[in-house]
Amino acid sequence: MKKFPIVILISGRGSNLKAIIDAKDPLIEIKAVISNKSQAGGLLYAKQNNIKTEVLNHKNFKTRLEFDQALQICIDKYQPELIVLAGFMRILSAEFVNHYQKRIINIHPSLLPTFKGLHTHKRVLEAKIKQHGASVHFLTEELDAGPVIIQAQVPVFSDDNEDTLAARVLNEEHRIYPQAIHWFAEGRLKLRGQQVFLDNQIIEVPNETF
């Protein structure tokens, strides 16, 4: 059986990468893990699991577009059907995003469309919100604005700090990201316009019960 080929992009410790690897999904093959930082901890875990790794340092390029063009060439060598951003801390150009339209996904630590951008846990605590969570979404030109595939909610407790809340959200990230990728590999997940379909049914979020 031909496996579903994916490429994963990381910048740091790679905890979501580890969750995807540890899921041991029989339908997918991680063709490569690519990082813009040579010291990214996730690279070591990929190597330990006999997955090809590459480093493309963004500091070696004069512009964001030049880096994105080089990254695109690097990715396309592996002919992936899905590009998975797992803590990849780069804002990607419109040209790059459009090249991989409908086959590039990201995970974000909030219940989108609320709390886009950085420091979500801090902002949630400051806002005294009672529900927080994580979202897997298609990547679009606008930051953290692509159609949501799956979300998971967690409660915010009165004694939470950023670390305790982040850990609770991260635990859910590790659950829902492999799930979203599995749906892709099964061919069950489709993006039509700005709506996401699972088994030809529009996905309504939050949908952590799937």
Confirm whether 1-100 and 106-210 share one CATH topology.
yes
Please, what is the Cα angle at 186 between 19 and 196, to 5 degrees? 90
Look at residue 83 in the predicted model and tell me its pLDDT.
Answer: 98
Sign of CA dihedral 107, 111, 113, 114: negative
Look at residue 1 in the predicted model and tell me its pLDDT.
Answer: 79
Look at residue 137 in the predicted model and tell me its pLDDT.
Answer: 97
CB 7 within 8 A of CB 78: yes
Q: Please state the pTM of the whole predicted model.
A: 0.95
**CB 151: neighbour CB atoms within 10 A?**
22
- CATH no. for 106-210: 3.40.50.170
> What is the distance, to the nearest Å, from the Cα of residue 4 to the centroid of all Cα atoms in its chain?
17
- CATH no. for 1-100: 3.40.50.170
Question: If you search the block for the tokens 């690279």, which residue do you land on?
Answer: 43
Q: Which residues are catalytic?
A: 108
Kindly state the tokens that stand for 128.
Answer: 């005294």
DSSP states of 26-60: TTEEEEEEEES-TT-HHHHHHHHTT--EEE--GGG
Rounded to an integer, what distance in angstroms lies between the CA atom of residue 49 and that of residue 44? 9
- Per-domain residue ranges of the chain: 1-100, 106-210
DSSP states of 102-162: TSEEEEESSSTTSS-SS-HHHHHHHHT-SEEEEEEEE--SSTT-SPEEEEEEEE--TT--H
Q: Which residues have C-beta within 8 Å of that of residue 5, sequence separation ≥ 6? A: 28, 29, 31, 78, 79, 80, 81, 82
Look at residue 205 in the predicted model and tell me its pLDDT.
Answer: 72
Nearest to 32 by CA among 53, 62, 5: 53
Kindly state the tokens that stand for 104.
Answer: 């590039």
Look at residue 210 in the predicted model and tell me its pLDDT.
Answer: 33
Look at residue 206 in the predicted model and tell me its pLDDT.
Answer: 55
- Phi, then psi, of 136 in degrees rounded to 5: -100, 130
User: Which residues in the chain land under pLDDT 50?
Assistant: 207-210
